[in-house]
Amino acid sequence: MEKTKSPLSIRLIFILNEIIFWLFSMVTVIALVLVLLILVNFFEGERQLDLQVRLPVAFSTNLDGMLIQENSSTAVQLLEAYGDIKFPETPSIIAKLFMIPLVFVIGIMYFMLFIFRKFIWSVNRGVIFESKNIKRLRMLALSLLAFWFLWHIYDFVVKITIARNLHFGTIEFTNNTQSHVILLIFALVLWVLSHIFLKGLKLEEESRLTI
């Protein structure tokens, strides 16, 4: 198959992806070490863990504020927001429970980055319309779909088990959750792209075998 020099944008994406991949690899190792330490009850006694997690549900407030611009100011109210909660001196059981989705998230993200790395490697070498690339795009699309689905399950579980049982004086938790629809759209775009690549592969083969 003919190999051509890739355009500058592809080379930049390739370099950027390499940096992100290796940084994420380091993060993965650190996260796995953290999971391991939590599993062996390392954070007990003097060593305490303060776990901070993002709540999937919005909370409602009634805070009054001002929008101040150059020459005018407008009264505003903060009604709904998303935020993090912290467990000071996190109990071991809670830390372990949160490590399960963390391992899944890291696993899927690492897998997706790994597949994308192979894909961009291939594109950078000028090998674009290849059956392996089509498989990679499909795997990426399916992984994103799985990620989107698991994220919703995580949100639902946290909502049922934690958010509903949280009690703060001035704020109330709503039932509003985020849809993460951008992930779904991105997965569908990748799936369509894999079909476009399949058509490209057929055309490329036809062109190659036209004498």
Binding stretches for other proteins (CB under 8 A): 205-206, 209-211
Q: What is the DSSP string of 141-157?
A: HHHHHHHHHHHHHHHHH
Q: What Å distances lie between residue 7 and 4, 83, 123, 180, 208, CA to CA?
A: 9, 42, 10, 32, 22
CB of 201 to other proteins, least distance (A): 13
**Position 97: which residue type?**
L
Q: What is the DSSP string of 17-47?
A: HHHHHHHHHHHHHHHHHHHHHHHTT-S-TT-
Please say which residue, 31 or 204, places its beta carbon nearer to other proteins: 204
CB of 209 to other proteins, least distance (A): 4
Please say which residue, 101 or 200, places its beta carbon nearer to other proteins: 200
CB of 200 to other proteins, least distance (A): 15
Please say which residue, 40 or 211, places its beta carbon nearer to other proteins: 211
Please say which residue, 80 or 205, places its beta carbon nearer to other proteins: 205
Q: Report the C-alpha gap between 34 and 48 in whole angstroms.
A: 13
CB of 211 to other proteins, least distance (A): 5
